[in-house]
Amino acid sequence: MFSPQGPTLRELAVQALSSVDRGYDLLAPKFDQTPFRTPDRFLDAVGDALRPLGPFDAGLDVCCGTGAGARPLRPLCRRITGVDFSAGMLAEARDRAGDAEPAPHWVRADVRALPFTGAFDLAVSFGAFGHFLPAERPGLFAQVHRCLRPGGLFAFPVAAPPPVGSALYWALAGFDAGMRVRNAVWRPPFVMYYRTFPLPAVAKDLARTGFDVTTLPLEEFGRRDDGSPRCRLVLARRA
Ligand SMILES: C[S@@+](CC[C@H](N)C(=O)[O-])C[C@H]1O[C@@H](n2cnc3c(N)ncnc32)[C@H](O)[C@@H]1O
% pLDDT > 90, the chain: 91
Ligand 1 pocket, residue 46 CB under 6 Å: no
Residue 160 and residue 230 in contact, taking contact as beta carbons nearer than 8 Å: yes
Question: What pLDDT, on a 0 to 100 scale, did the predictor assign at position 2?
Answer: 64
- Residue 86 alpha carbon, nearest atom of ligand 1: 25
- Candidates 128, 166, 160, 159; CA nearest to 36 is 128
User: What stretch of H or E contains 172?
Assistant: helix 167-185
Please determine, for residue 209, whether its predicted confidence score (pLDDT) is greater than 80.
Answer: yes
Question: What pLDDT, on a 0 to 100 scale, did the predictor assign at position 109?
Answer: 98
Ligand 1 pocket, residue 65 CB under 6 Å: yes
CA dist., res. 97 & res. 68, Å (int): 9
Angle at alpha carbon of residue 50, lines to 94 and 32, rounded to 5°: 30
Q: What is the pLDDT of residues 17-69, one digit of tens each?
A: 889 999 999 999 999 999 999 999 999 999 999 999 999 999 999 999 999 99
Which of 131, 190, 191 to mutate for ligand 1's pocket (most ligand atoms within 8 Å of CB)? 131
Question: What pLDDT, on a 0 to 100 scale, did the predictor assign at position 99?
Answer: 87
Q: What is the pLDDT of residues 99-117, one digit of tens each?
A: 889 999 999 999 999 999 9
Query: What one-character DSSP code corresponds to residue 152?
Result: E
Neighbour count for residue 62 (Cβ, 10 Å): 24
Question: What pLDDT, on a 0 to 100 scale, did the predictor assign at position 85?
Answer: 98
- Candidates 140, 128, 135, 144; CA nearest to 192 is 128
Residue 16 pLDDT grade (very low, low, confident, very high; cuts 50, 70, 90) = confident
> Considering only CA atoms, which residue is closest to atom 22 of ligand 1?
84
DSSP string, 209-230: HTEEEEEEE-GGG-B-TTS-BS
Mean pLDDT in residue range 1-5: 71
pTM recorded for the entire structure: 0.96
CA dist., res. 46 & res. 40, Å (int): 10
User: What stretch of H or E contains 13?
Assistant: helix 9-16
Ligand 1 pocket, residue 131 CB under 6 Å: yes
Question: What pLDDT, on a 0 to 100 scale, did the predictor assign at position 1?
Answer: 58
Q: How far is the CA of 227 from the centre of ligand 1 (A)?
A: 32
Ligand 1 pocket, residue 132 CB under 6 Å: no
Which of 21, 81, 84 to mutate for ligand 1's pocket (most ligand atoms within 8 Å of CB)? 84
Sequence spans of domains, the chain? 1-36, 38-161+198-238
Residue 30 and residue 5 in contact, taking contact as beta carbons nearer than 8 Å: yes
What CATH number should be reported for the domain whose range is 38-161+198-238?
A: 3.40.50.150
Q: What is the pLDDT of residues 137-190, one digit of tens each?
A: 999 999 999 999 999 999 999 999 999 999 999 999 999 999 999 999 999 999
CA dist., res. 126 & res. 22, Å (int): 20
- Residue 125 alpha carbon, nearest atom of ligand 1: 6
Question: What pLDDT, on a 0 to 100 scale, did the predictor assign at position 28?
Answer: 97
